[in-house]
Chains A and B, each alone.
Chain A
Amino acid sequence: SQKIEQNSEALNIQEGKTATLTCNYTNYSPAYLQWYRQDPGRGPVFLLLIRENEKEKRKERLKVTFDTTLKQSLFHITASQPADSATYLCALGTSGTYKYIFGTGTRLKVLA
């Protein structure tokens, strides 16, 4: 069956360190993958999109990698700050449909 898995355990890291979040998928052939941030009581907010033919994408302190062989995406936040504390969701999009399927999310807490 199709699955999108993210670290179910919360990730606690020290301020200034790099946070790395994982998104693994099975039985999907995504054309692109997106990362969203969700704060408590709020809707998700788009962060980055990476296409299947791209290995890496960067935006300010954020970096996403996409390995279609491993069926995995890694999401990095460098020089993390307490304000980065939130739940991060990955979402897959397949070619020919504009539907977004989300992973379960990973809660990140950056400690001051």
Chain B
Amino acid sequence: NAGVMQNPRHLVRRRGQEARLRCSPMKGHSHVYWYRQLPEEGLKFMVYLQKENIIDESGMPKERFSAEFPKEGPSILRIQQVVRGDSAAYFCASSLGTENTEAFFGQGTRLTVV
């Protein structure tokens, strides 16, 4: 089992460009979560998805950010027109989607906006 795979590991974008972050959950997991982490800070919840559905996006900024988890393929976190403040580590996690089970995290994508 390869675990949760995120790519790319590092992404550099100029201000105004789009960033696409990919996450393949663990085999058998149908629940995906995205978190943002700034240096020296904790994980901030962004969005929780199941296949083809957004369950909770209460942590997503209202503009420029979107997420999807299609029937086939990885989950995508998309940031349009990036700004310097979007620079952070973005972590994806997956779980079985039952209570009392842990989340398995990927290694993260480090986004740098220049």
Contact = CB atoms under 8 A, between A and B. Distances in A.
Interface of A: 6, 31-32, 34, 36, 41-46, 49, 51, 89, 91, 93, 95, 97-105
Looking at chain A's contact residues, the main secondary structure is: strand
Given A42-B107, A43-B106, A49-B102, A98 B42 contact: no
Contacts of A99: 33, 45, 48, 55-56
Contacts of B69: none
Report the contact-size class of chain B (Cβ under 8 Å from the partner): 20 to 34
A39 to B, nearest CB: 11
Given A89-B43, A100-B103, 14 more contacts: A31-B99, A32-B99, A34-B102, A43-B91, A43-B105, A43-B108, A46-B102, A46-B103, A51-B100, A91-B103, A98-B31, A99-B33, A99-B56, A105-B42
Contact of A104 (B35, B42, B102, B106): B42
A49 B95 CA distance: 14
A43 B105 CA distance: 6
24 contacts: A6-B42, A31-B100, A32-B99, A32-B100, A34-B102, A34-B103, A36-B105, A44-B43, A44-B91, A44-B105, A49-B101, A51-B100, A89-B43, A93-B99, A97-B48, A97-B55, A98-B48, A98-B95, A98-B99, A100-B103, A102-B43, A102-B44, A104-B41, A104-B42
Contacts of B106: 43
Interface in B10-67: 31, 33, 35, 41-45, 48, 55-56
B8 interface: no
Given A42-B107, A98-B31, A49 B45 contact: no
Nearest to B100: A32
